[in-house]
Amino acid sequence: MSVQERKQRERAERERLIVATARELAEQQGWDAVTTRRLAERIEYSQPVLYSHFRGKREIIGAVALQGAAEMAAAVRAAASAADGPRDRVTALARTYLDFAARNPAVYDALFQLDGGLAFADEDTPEPLKDAFAALLDSLAEVAGDGVHPGLFTEVFWASLHGLATLTRAGRLPPEDIEPRVELLVNRLAMV
């Protein structure tokens, strides 16, 4: 291995460590606890090393969001592919999405609540975000209904899931009623 390859590998490893540590700290104590000073202390590198990878917290949030988008897309695809038929696929998608949001609140916030400097619904949208939307679209397009654009249907279904996830996390909806909400959403909006 050349010196250049080793340095690139070490740089990539430091970047993974920064993102993993930020994510862990955010999941434990919230995003307000994530500062470059605390990250530097936890990973035992200087703040200038962090700044050589990320210009600041905003970019770190963006990196966590991209990682989370890839994880969410994989989880949604796995759940949907294990289901039989359109109704089971849509139900599995909804449950998986809501479970992901509940189990990964800091990642979910990085994706959809915080400014990570990422473009959504734009030509500059990063691939992991496009792929996360595509994972939803793959299962929802078949149930969009006649004359309904699959992308538009996916946006509305996603917005419904996001609303359920956000309101449940905020304590505005009782968590024990999540299953009836999923059934209502699948039965009425997807009508499968």
Q: What is the pLDDT along the chain (192 residues), one digit of tens a residue?
A: 788 998 999 999 999 999 999 999 999 999 999 999 999 999 999 999 999 999 999 999 999 999 999 999 999 999 999 999 999 999 999 999 999 999 999 999 999 999 999 999 899 999 999 999 999 999 999 999 899 999 999 999 999 999 999 999 999 999 999 999 999 999 988 776
In angstroms, what CA-CA distances link 13 with 53, 118, 148?
A: 11, 22, 45
Tokens of 42: 């936890």
Lookup result for tokens 């862990």:
24
Instruction: Kindly report the pTM of this predicted structure.
Output: 0.93
User: Please, are residues 30 and 107 in contact by the beta-carbon 8 Å criterion?
Assistant: no
